[in-house]
Amino acid sequence: MSQTDTAETRTNRTESQSVSTTTGETVEETQAEWTTYEGGGETKLAVDDLDVHYGSDHALKGVSMDIPEESVTALIGPSGCGKSTFLRCLNRMNDRIRAASVDGTVTLDGENIYQDGVDLVELRKRVGMVFQSPNPFPKSIRENVSYGPRKHGDIETGLLARLTGRADPGREEALVEQSLERAALWEEVRDRLDDNALGLSGGQQQRLCIARCLAVDPDVILMDEPASALDPIATSKIEDLIEDLAEDYTVVVVTHSMQQAARVSDQTAVFLTGGELVEYDDTEKIFENPESQRVEDYISGKFG
């Protein structure tokens, strides 16, 4: 996509923003300074005027934000504020929920992922996801990691592939090792790659899920409260990993814990009840000097 296209998109976005203001649905903060915030680097994901309805329930209201590449973006807010819904819009996992309807655009590297004819397989290869509770497959550790590449035909292990010499065990081994290494799990499991993944501890399972996601070589990694089911030590390992991953990947992480957001993220978006994005800025700015009174109340624990 050319530079002018991007500029156009941005202008459109500002327009629609003012429209939503005139309808009176959004509160005064929408026009505050942060709306022009564009994050630190090149924009990876641009979300524009995103509305989500679950049946008659309006779960997200006109959310717009630009997510910069190779950084950590935290989404925080009280339960039911729509932050997980927002996250699931970014790889179209909301398509699974049939009552959900999504309006607006999400642009990944200049391509709208909600236009007709989008290949969901290709999208999800590029936008990986890690879930709230660890969900390894009831298979061996090795199979868990190589699952994605196998399904996409990048690695072949079947009987036929072996017969015709297309199977490349060395490549699979290398990919498994590299992904586990990157997820800081290799040292712990290198001797038991053929054990069932369900035998790992919760923290290890979650790092396995991250490794599984990395094996597909995504650009963006979405994490939905990845540490909420884990103990403090496992949590801190995951947090270190997130910071580390941001060197190569665009990480978007939903979290319940403000400390976690403050520790790991470069920019933070605050969602408050009713599915509005209230403020989005550098993490430091949000936690030290937020624009909005509601965000300040929320952060200081007076509200939410």
Binding site for another protein (CB under 8 A): 91, 93, 96, 98, 108-109, 111, 113, 115, 117-126, 128-129, 131, 133, 135-139, 147-148, 151-153, 156, 158-161, 163-164, 166, 198, 209, 212-213, 216-217, 219, 248-249
Q: Residue 87 corresponds to which tokens in the numbers above?
A: 């996250």
Nearer to another protein, 105 or 292 (CB): 105
Nearer to another protein, 10 or 124 (CB): 124
* Among 297, 121, 125, CA closest to 220: 125
* Among 176, 181, 230, 223, CA closest to 205: 230
Nearer to another protein, 213 or 295 (CB): 213
What residues does 76 pair with on adjacent strands? 270
Nearer to another protein, 246 or 277 (CB): 246
Nearer to another protein, 253 or 262 (CB): 253
* Among 265, 263, 301, 249, CA closest to 78: 301
The CB-of-7 to another protein minimum distance in angstroms stands at: 21
Q: Which residues contact 33 (CB under 8 A, 6 or more apart)?
A: 291
The CB-of-127 to another protein minimum distance in angstroms stands at: 9
Nearer to another protein, 156 or 177 (CB): 156
* Among 248, 273, 230, CA closest to 131: 230
| φ, ψ of residue 136 in degrees (nearest 5) | -65, 155
Q: How far apart are CA 260 and CA 269, in angstroms?
A: 13
Q: How far apart are CA 83 and CA 77, in angstroms?
A: 7
The CB-of-193 to another protein minimum distance in angstroms stands at: 18
The CB-of-254 to another protein minimum distance in angstroms stands at: 14
The CB-of-30 to another protein minimum distance in angstroms stands at: 30
What residues does 282 pair with on adjacent strands? 267
Whether 209 contacts 130, CB under 8 Å: yes
- Maximal CA-CA distance, the chain: 67
Q: How far apart are CA 76 and CA 270, in angstroms?
A: 5
The CB-of-135 to another protein minimum distance in angstroms stands at: 4
The CB-of-176 to another protein minimum distance in angstroms stands at: 15
Nearer to another protein, 114 or 186 (CB): 114
Nearer to another protein, 192 or 302 (CB): 192
The CB-of-242 to another protein minimum distance in angstroms stands at: 15
* Among 242, 254, 243, CA closest to 88: 254
- Rounded to the nearest angstrom, the gap between the alpha carbon of residue 275 and the centroid of all alpha carbons in its chain is 17
